[in-house]
């Protein structure tokens, strides 16, 4: 190969790889972006617009309304009738009836309803966290999709320039036509990868828009530094925090309390309520002296708990307490599993990221540099240099994959901790 060709090719590879891949180098800080939406921007937009949050708020008010209603005393009933309508012996009456609820049943009904309202409030807290988690996952997927597309575009540039230089080298008798065809195939593959990455970027942006609750929102450029530091999580401490404060455990504890209230309510049901009626009756019967035609009316009705003493509902309420207690243990086991899974995924991704930053990427760049030097000196061939370039690009892609896994695992942990500020 002519000296000027080797110099040109070496200069081209240095410009493409070392300048255009500069932002993702592990050995140097990432470039600071000045445009694009940050995660905080997207989160604020989501919290202002997501319909699930409005739905959760409405469900709280529904439950609060039911709690108010559960404690209201029954209204009195006014009656007017004519038990005998027969000319001058007709009778007319009017009276008022009132149901009296005994045993503190209404108070217990309201206590149970208030606990349902508290559960709705905790469900709203969880809904908010789930919405934030969905946005965070989609955001970092979109960020990685942007950077992945950039890497594929650089790989295409390398492939195209390598293919052009390969054609020149074939004319000079330095490489064979088979080598040129192989380079052209690599170019076609690189073009396909770019097209697929463009499709994936659009899809990830649409998923991010959907995660905000506004699917028609047009997501533009995003701004994030994937190399930002994240904490080291202590699994035992994290599990203790989650089990003590997670929305699901709070709801389960309230459910146990609510089941206890309903059990007491079932036991009180056997205490009979009673109905009192009192009023006035007028008769026009001429055979009755005028002083006796105006009559008073009184009635008392009480249910006698002879056969139905609410035994079945009391038995059900007792077992509902056992069910709620078992449900809390199940929830704690499931949350412990989620903590273990999220921490394992996070640690695995962290190891990959650190391995790529400390070893794989520096080694791949070193291999490329050595091949460039050997190529300039005529001690290696063009295809080996191209393979070194391709290996570095593939390492950059795997590094991005590891970063995506790291951030998504961290987002899952933030969701378990109900973490408002992330990272």
User: Alpha-carbon distance 145 to 376, whole Å?
Assistant: 35
Residue with tokens 């249910």: 303
User: Alpha-carbon distance 234 to 338, whole Å?
Assistant: 14
pTM score of the predicted model: 0.84
Nearest CA to 422 out of 33, 26, 36, 47 is that of: 47
- The terminus-to-terminus CA distance of the chain in angstroms comes to 52
Residue with tokens 């969701």: 415
Report residue 403 as tokens. Answer: 């970063």
Angstrom CA distances, 169 to 166, 188, 223, stand at: 5, 20, 42
pLDDT 10s digits, 87-106: 778 888 999 999 999 999 99
Residue with tokens 């008392």: 300
> Which pLDDT tens digits describe the chain residue by residue (423 residues)?
445 445 445 544 444 444 433 333 433 333 334 468 999 999 999 999 999 999 999 999 999 999 999 999 999 999 998 888 877 788 889 999 999 999 999 999 999 999 999 999 999 999 999 999 999 999 999 999 999 999 999 989 988 888 888 888 788 887 788 878 888 888 899 999 999 999 999 999 999 999 999 999 999 899 999 999 999 999 999 999 999 999 999 999 999 999 999 999 999 999 999 999 999 988 888 888 887 888 898 999 999 999 999 999 999 999 999 999 999 999 999 999 999 999 999 999 999 999 999 999 999 999 988 988 887 777 777 778 788 888 999 999 999 999 999 999 999 999 999 999 998
DSSP-based three-state secondary structure for 282: strand
What pLDDT is stored for residue 17 in this prediction? 41
Burial of 332 (0-12, 13-18, 19+ CB in 10 A): middle
Cα angle 168-394-349, degrees, rounded to a multiple of 5: 170
Burial of 165 (0-12, 13-18, 19+ CB in 10 A): buried
CATH code assigned to 3-416: 1.20.1600.10
Report residue 220 as tokens. Answer: 């533009």
Residue 92 — φ and ψ, nearest 5°? -135, 140
Helix (H) and strand (E) counts in the chain: 11, 4
Q: Which helix (H) or strand (E) holds 303?
A: none
Dihedral angle at the C-alpha atoms of 228, 234, 237, 241, nearest 10 degrees? Answer: 30
User: Alpha-carbon distance 399 to 354, whole Å?
Assistant: 9
pLDDT 10s digits, 242-260: 999 999 999 999 999 999 9
DSSP letter assigned to residue 224: -
What pLDDT is stored for residue 33 in this prediction? 41
User: Alpha-carbon distance 255 to 276, whole Å?
Assistant: 36
How many Å is the Cα radius of gyration of the chain? 38
What pLDDT is stored for residue 28 in this prediction? 38
Angstrom CA distances, 168 to 9, 107, 121, 163, 172, stand at: 11, 91, 71, 9, 6
User: Alpha-carbon distance 384 to 375, whole Å?
Assistant: 9
Residue 422: which residues within 8 A CB-CB, separation 6 or more? 39, 132, 136, 410, 411, 414
Q: Where are the domains of the chain?
A: 3-416
Helices 3-13 and 105-171: angle between axes, nearest 10 degrees: 170
User: Alpha-carbon distance 24 to 215, whole Å?
Assistant: 31
What pLDDT is stored for residue 15 in this prediction? 47
Cα angle 68-72-73, degrees, rounded to a multiple of 5: 175
DSSP-based three-state secondary structure for 73: coil
What pLDDT is stored for residue 290 in this prediction? 81
User: Alpha-carbon distance 155 to 189, whole Å?
Assistant: 10
């Amino acid at each position: 190969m002519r000296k000027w060709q080797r110099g040109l090719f070496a200069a081209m590879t240095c410009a493409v790889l070392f300048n255009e891949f500069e932002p993702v180098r592990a050995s140097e800080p990432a470039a600071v972006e000045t445009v694009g939406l940050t995660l905080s921007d997207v989160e604020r937009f989501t919290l202002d617009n997501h319909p699930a949050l409005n739905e959760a708020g409405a469900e709280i008010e529904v439950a609060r309304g039911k709690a108010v209603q559960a404690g209201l005393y029954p209204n009195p009933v006014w009656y007017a009738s004519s038990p005998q309508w027969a000319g001058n012996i007709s009778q007319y009456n009017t009276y008022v009836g009132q149901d009296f609820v005994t045993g503190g049943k209404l108070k217990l009904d309201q206590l149970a309803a208030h606990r349902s309202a508290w559960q709705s409030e905790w469900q709203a807290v969880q809904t908010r966290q789930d919405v934030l988690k969905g946005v965070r996952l989609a955001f970092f997927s979109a960020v990685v999709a942007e950077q992945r597309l950039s890497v594929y575009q650089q790989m295409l540039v390398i492939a195209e320039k390598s293919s052009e230089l390969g054609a020149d080298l074939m004319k000079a008798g330095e490489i064979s036509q088979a080598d040129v065809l192989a380079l052209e195939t690599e170019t076609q593959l690189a073009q396909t990868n770019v097209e697929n990455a463009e499709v994936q970027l659009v899809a990830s942006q649409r998923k991010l828009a959907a995660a905000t609750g506004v699917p028609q929102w047009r997501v533009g450029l995003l701004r994030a530094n994937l190399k930002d530091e994240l904490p080291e999580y202590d699994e035992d401490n994290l599990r203790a925090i989650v089990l003590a404060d997670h929305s699901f455990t709070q709801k389960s504890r309230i459910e146990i309390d609510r089941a206890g209230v309903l059990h007491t309510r079932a036991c009180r049901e056997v205490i009979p309520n009673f109905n009192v009626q009192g009023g006035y009756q007028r008769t026009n019967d001429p055979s009755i002296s005028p002083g006796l035609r105006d009559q008073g009316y009184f009635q008392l009705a009480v249910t006698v708990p002879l056969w139905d003493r609410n035994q079945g509902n009391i038995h059900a309420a007792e077992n509902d307490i056992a069910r709620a207690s078992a449900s809390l243990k199940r929830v704690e086991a499931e949350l412990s599993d989620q903590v273990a899974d999220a921490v394992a995924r996070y640690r695995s991704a962290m190891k990959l990221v650190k391995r790529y930053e400390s070893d794989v990427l520096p080694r791949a760049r070193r291999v490329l540099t050595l091949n460039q030097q050997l190529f300039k000196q005529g001690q290696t061939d063009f295809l080996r240099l191209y393979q070194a370039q391709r290996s570095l690009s593939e390492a950059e892609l795997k590094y991005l994959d590891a970063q995506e896994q790291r951030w998504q695992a961290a987002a899952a942990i933030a969701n378990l901790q109900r973490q408002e500020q992330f990272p």
